[in-house]
Every structure is written in structure tokens, then in C-alpha cells.
Amino acid sequence: MKKWKRWTVSLLCAGVLSACQQAPEETDQVKEEPVKDRRVSLTFTGDLLFEQSLYDSWDNYAFGDYFDLIRSYLCGDIVIGNQEVPIGGEELGVSGTAYSFNAPVAIAEQLPQVGFDVLTLSNNHSYDRGYEGAVNTLENLRANDILPVGLYADETSAEQIAIVEENGIRIAILAYTYDTNIAPEDSHAFVTKTFLNEQGQLDDAHRQMLKEDVEQAQEQADVVIAAMHWGNEFTFERNAAQTQTAAYLNDLGVDIIIGNHPHCLQTMERLTNAEGKETWVFYSLGNLVSAAAMVDRASVDFANLYEMGGIVNLDVVIDGESGEVRIEHARLTPVINHFDVNYSHFQLIPLKDYTEDLAASHCQRQYSASFSKAWLEEQLHVLFDRKIRLDL
């Protein structure tokens, strides 16, 4: 728009010079054409939780056809996922069990081929392999042209805002976790950002941190996204910290909140603050990648739901006249992580393409007779009916 206005001024000056040389006459006014909207398509996924059974089933950690049936959904101009485990490499010990995780470099090498552009890394497993694991993760992702967000090698980078630009739209991405399973040493306290205090509360100090980050992001970008690792695992119910933090981020003017950590889908809503600013909140997109049946610590129903995650596709539009942000064409595609009773033949399958026969052959079915396509669809309608278009 600025270039267009400079061009307009040049035309008017030329008209003035011409009028000095000729008899006075009326000149046509230059009519400003409407400024076009700018648009970018975004894709968000649930947790990428690489567990041991996946590694055991793959040949040299190669994905094979695991992602093939969902590649067409990882189609946004920018595709963002939550990388739940460090990618510290084989030298730090590959592990997908015992709640202490570390992935081989091959994972980082293949994720761009699947379609991922950005991975958020602030979660309870961020420090499972200590500072070396964090640094290796950053290096391995950057070496494969994936932007890491929410994990930092030093204090300087922790103060910077991750920004991607596409179609003339600058998008700032922030990432926070409620805590880490292993606490970083005081000398490495900067490695990731927590948004709650030790009592699990959103206190004044953490509100101020979020405020400063969001304001810095708003100064540098058109759109602000916050990836929040929050909530209680294996439940539809939101906890107080989720509700309070979502409302506060809405007050600050964040455009989109993507939640993760509960390992099951949770609802979404559109919050509006006192100034009329709308924030789209997806409280949890569940698991995209995982590899466990009848997961412990979960009820039977939520062990079923552990096998279903969501992919969200939407357009972010910057209004050409007002500059306001709006969301269009949002849809959620449920995805089943399918594998058989031998923990083999892993395949990610859109629920709309899933069948009752496949559900009957899923490993989870031997633990729960209710694991069926029809039952899973019922849960989706409970969570999202009339809130977002479901791709079913």
C-alpha cells in the first residue's frame, strides 16, 4: 500500500507541472482502488509423540507410509506441529518409553518431507536430555529447515520472537509450558518458558512476562499465535489455568491459541475481549503421533481417545482496509493413529476414511469394545458441534 501511495503522489505532481505549462483545466482525480485483503493458510496438528513401538516397527527409523494418508491435509502455507520429544540424536540414547524421551536425527530429517515448517518445543519433555539435548534439537531442526519455537540455546535467543512471513503477512509464534519434568539448572533457566508458578498459578510475574512477549510480537508481526502446553492429561475438562490463561491472552490480543498436552482432543471456542478482539482457542488437538494402547493413567474411554488427534486448517486474512485479522474456512480433520495387536502396521488415517472393520482390528479394541468409528464420532460432536466444521 505504501508503494501505491507514493506512486499516486508522483502522478499528482506531474499534473501540477503540466498545468503550469497549459491553460487551466479541470484534472481528473486519481481514484484510489480498494486495498486487497492479504491471506495465508495455516495448518496445526496435535502432539508428535514418538514412542518406542514406532521406532521398533520402523526400518532405520524411516517413516515408510505412516504419514501418507494425511499428507494432503498438511497443506497450509505454514504447517505447525508440537514436537513433544527432544531430537537429541542417537548419541544421547534413543528412547520412547518410561516418560523420558529422545528421538534420532532421522525424525528431524523426515518431518519437512511430511510437510512441517514450524515445530513448537516448549513442553514437559523439553529437558528430558538436558541442555545438550535441547541444543542438539535446535541444531537438528534448523539443519533441516524447520523453525524451532519455544526452546532456546541462550538468553539472547530467549528474548527474541520467532516470526515467519508468507504472502506478505508476518506471523509471530510464541510457545510456553506449564512446567518441565526435569528442571533446568539455574544456569540454563532460559531454555524454555513456563507460564505458571510452582503452585501451578498464573501469577502477576507470569502475566507480565506474557504481556511483554505479546506486545513485542505485536510490534513485529501482523498475527500472533500462542502454543500452550497446558491442562490435565486424559480429560475433556479444562482446568483453571487453561481458562484463566486463555482469557488473559485474549485480553492481550493474541489471535490464535493452540493447546497441547492432554493427549486427547478438547473443545475450542472463540473468545472476545472488552475491545471486541476475537481469539480462536483450540484447547487441545490431542495426539497426531503416538504408539500406545490402553495407556496407563487413563480411563478406558480416554485410552480410546488417545488414538485420535486433530488437524486444523484455516485461513488468516488481514483486512485490506481496516488491517483487522479474521479467520476463515476453519475446519478440523480427526485422524486415527491405527496399529494392530502386534504393535505393527502403523498408519495415520483420517476418520472419514476409517471403517468399523479397521476399528475392530485396532490394538485398542482388545481392551475396549467401545472403540469404534461410531463412538469416536459421537465424542467429536460432543466437543465441537456447531463450533467448527468437522471433516467427517
Where residue 233 sits, what CATH number does that domain have? 3.60.21.10
Q: Give the per-residue pLDDT at 54.
A: 98
**Per-residue pLDDT for 2 more than 70?**
no
Q: Give the per-residue pLDDT at 28.
A: 55
Neighbouring residues of 281: CB distance < 8 A, sequence distance ≥ 6: 246, 250, 256, 257, 259, 268, 269, 270, 271
**Per-residue pLDDT for 197 more than 90?**
yes
Mean pLDDT in residue range 318-338: 96
Q: How confident is the model at residue 164 (pLDDT cuts 50, 70, 90)?
A: very high
Question: Cell 495407556, residue?
Answer: 295
**Per-residue pLDDT for 22 more than 60?**
no
Question: Is position 298 within any domain?
Answer: yes
What are the tens digits of pLDDT across the range 265-307? Answer: 999 999 999 999 999 999 999 999 999 999 989 999 999 999 9
Query: Which phi and psi (to 5°) does residue 35 adopt?
Result: -75, 130
Question: Is position 6 within any domain?
Answer: no
Q: Give the per-residue pLDDT at 19.
A: 34
Beta bridge partners of 271: 279
Question: Is position 15 within any domain?
Answer: no
Percent of the chain predicted with pLDDT > 70 = 92
Q: Are 326 and 383 in contact, with CB atoms under 8 Å apart? A: no
Q: Give the per-residue pLDDT at 31.
A: 67
Whole-Å CA distances, 107 to 116, 171, 207 = 12, 25, 35
What are the tens digits of pLDDT across the range 210-253? Answer: 999 999 999 999 999 999 999 999 999 999 999 999 999 999 99
Q: Give the per-residue pLDDT at 35.
A: 85
DSSP alpha helix (H) spans, 253-368: 300-305, 356-361
More confident residue, 383 or 26: 383
Neighbouring residues of 93: CB distance < 8 A, sequence distance ≥ 6: 102, 129
Nearest to 349 by CA among 44, 69, 43: 69
Domain count across the chain: 1
**Per-residue pLDDT for 11 more than 50?**
no
Percent of the chain predicted with pLDDT > 90 = 90
Q: How confident is the model at residue 13 (pLDDT cuts 50, 70, 90)?
A: very low
Q: Give the per-residue pLDDT at 30.
A: 64
**Per-residue pLDDT for 64 more than 90?**
yes
Question: Is position 60 within any domain?
Answer: yes
Mean pLDDT in residue range 360-376: 98
Mean pLDDT in residue range 135-151: 98
**Per-residue pLDDT for 20 more than 50?**
no
Question: Is position 2 within any domain?
Answer: no
Q: Are 119 and 83 in contact, with CB atoms under 8 Å apart? A: yes
What are the tens digits of pLDDT across the range 65-93? Answer: 999 999 999 999 999 999 999 999 999 99
Mean pLDDT in residue range 3-8: 24
Q: Give the per-residue pLDDT at 34.
A: 78
Domain, as residue range, for 95 = 38-390
Question: Is position 337 within any domain?
Answer: yes
**Per-residue pLDDT for 351 more than 60?**
yes
Neighbouring residues of 19: CB distance < 8 A, sequence distance ≥ 6: 25, 27
